[in-house]
Amino acid sequence: MADNFSFDVTSTIDMQEVDNAVNQARKELGQRYDFKGSTAAIDLDQKDKTLTLTAEEAFRLEALWEILTSRLVRRNVPVKNLKRGDVEPASAGTVKQVITLQVGIPSDAAREIVKHLKDLKLKKVQASIQGDQLRITSSSKDELQNAMSVLRAKDFGIALQFGNYR
């Protein structure tokens, strides 16, 4: 029997599901009456992990955001991991907004998670940062499950997934 148990905390986005959601949003965009004759568009850059929304005005940009988020939620893509940029003027009198897809746990959020676990003083629970993920270890499975439930209860600004439980 193992003397130490562990699990990994990650934050990932399935890019294929994002692509499917963007395609569905584009299809809905073409069918909606309020967007007839509009130059509104959604562009996905999988390499840079960004989405670019383009519309004539900020009001339509918000409607475009609502369409996109509803499709992403239906495909179980965590909307918490989308970081919206500022609305910027673009060519031909349009406005655009760049949305960054957050993949992996940023270092400041990782430090916040480790600090939160240490502040709770859970017995024998150790957290270590490994690149863009965390490994939580303990000699007690019950303490690990307590740590997992505590992390689920607190909002760190990103969607957390738990895996590799051993």
DSSP code string of 133-161? EEEEEES-HHHHHHHHHHHHHS--SS--E
Please tell me whether residues 65 and 134 are part of one structural domain: no
67 lies in the same domain as 86:
yes
> Of 78, 101, 124, which residue is a domain's last?
101
Taking the chain (166 residues) in runs of 10, the rounded mean pLDDT of each run is: 80 91 92 85 92 90 92 92 89 89 89 87 84 88 87 87 83
Torsion angle in degrees (nearest 10) through CA of 9, 23, 93, 82: -10
pTM of the entire predicted model? 0.82
pLDDT of residue 158: 86
Number of domains in the chain: 2
pLDDT at 154: 87
124 and 83 fall within a common domain? no
Q: What does the pLDDT read at residue 2?
A: 53
Report yes or no: 8 and 131 within 8 Å, Cβ to Cβ: no
Of 101, 134, 152, which residue constitutes the final position of a domain?
101
Are 142 and 78 members of one domain? no
The reported pLDDT for the residue numbered 66 is: 93
Kindly state whether residues 115 and 61 are assigned to the same domain.
no
Question: 67, 101, 135: which is the final residue of a domain?
Answer: 101
pLDDT for res 123: 76
Domain extent for 130: 5-12+105-163
pLDDT score for 4 = 85
- Are 135 and 148 in the same domain? yes
- List the structure tokens of 87: 């609305």
Same domain, residue pair 88 and 109: no
